[in-house]
Amino acid sequence: MIEFVLFSRRGRTNGNFRTLREAGRLDVVYQCLLTAFFTSGALRRDVVFHAVLSGPPHPPTHLIFDGTSLRDVRTDEKTWEEILRKVLSGGVHQGIEMRRESFQEVLKSKQNVFVLEESGEDILKARLGENPVFVLGDQVGLPRQDERFALRFGTKISLGKKPYLAASCVDIINYILDQKIYRT
C-alpha cells in the first residue's frame, strides 16, 4: 500500500462552502486526489490518501480515502465538491472516512515515512521499501513544528531543487513508483 498524507492548513472542516477554492483551498485536496488515484481508465487500488484539514470551524479533521473501497467517483471537480461537502457535513461515501485527528496523531501510527522537501535525499536514489508514506504540505507548506514532528518518524526526500505543486508531487511519486514496482 502507498500512502500520501497532505497537511492542509486552511482546509474547511465542515460542508458549509460554495466552492472548493473558497473552502480554504480544498481544490488542492481535490487535485491531489486526482493524481493519487486516477490513471487513464482505472482507479489505483493500492493507494490510501489522508487529508488533514486544519481550517475552520472544527479543526483538526482527518479524511481518509481508501483506494481498495473507493467507489462512485469521477475526475470532475463538481463531483468531488459534492462528495467533500457531504462527508464534511457528516454524511458517508464509500471509501471515505472522517475522523477528528490531528496531523501528529495520524503520523504516530505510520512507519516508513518520507517528508517531501527540496533539500532531502533524491527520491531516485532513496530506498523506499514497502508501504511508503509520503508527507506533503498544501500551497503554504508544512508548519515547521509539524515538519519536525514528522521527521521523528521518517526522513526528508526530494523530487529536486525546484518546488512543485502538491498534486504534481503526488503524480511524480506515482510515476516513479510505477517504474520501480509492479502495481495493479
Give the whole-number percent of the chain exceeding pLDDT 70. 98
Query: How confident is the model over 1-29, as pLDDT tens digits?
Result: 999 999 999 999 999 999 999 999 999 99
Superfamily of domain 2-180: SPOUT methyltransferase, trefoil knot domain (3.40.1280.10)
The phi, psi pair for 4, rounded to 5°, reads: -125, 135
pTM of the model: 0.95
CA-nearest of 162, 182, 180 to 44 is 182
Cell readout for 113 is: 515515512
Residues 6+ positions from 88 with CB-CB distance below 8 Å: 12, 13, 14, 15, 61, 63, 98
Instruction: List C-alpha distances in Å: 127 to 48, 114, 122.
Output: 20, 11, 10
